[in-house]
Amino acid sequence: MTRADLISRIAAIYPYMHLRNIGRIVSIITEEIANSLKEGGRVELRGFGSFSVRERKKIESRNPRTNEKITVEEKRVPYFKPGKQLKDMVNGREVNERK
């Protein structure tokens, strides 16, 4: 699913909302998740999953084409851990939603 597909699906559920506003909402959500991760935070969406940042150490590797040794510097990478509800939905299991 692309960003445009997501906006279209939301628009189908909420026909009274303008596409422009739905697009802004999707942008705000993704930007806030990215900003939180950039600051080293963690974002948890109950039932969906959590986003966090993991640290990768500096490693020595090699270029497979030239066999030349290279150094891959340490870096921070985003990580997503799916929640139980999402896992159950993907596997076609009954999902018990909390109310």
Each residue's pLDDT, cut to its tens digit, for the chain (99 residues) gives: 999 999 999 999 999 999 999 999 999 999 999 999 999 999 999 989 999 999 999 999 999 999 999 999 999 999 999 999 999 999 988 776 654
Burial bucket for residue 36 (CB in 10 Å: 0-12, 13-18, 19+): middle
Looking at CATH, the fold of the domain delimited by 41-99 is given as HU Protein; Chain A (4.10.520)
Answer for the pair 14, 22: CB distance below 8 angstroms, yes or no. yes
22 phi and psi, to 5 degrees?
-65, -40
Q: 3-state DSSP call for residue 95?
A: coil
DSSP 12-35: HH-TTS-HHHHHHHHHHHHHHHHH
pLDDT at 29: 96
Q: Domain locations in the chain?
A: 1-39, 41-99
pLDDT at 90: 92
pLDDT at 10: 96
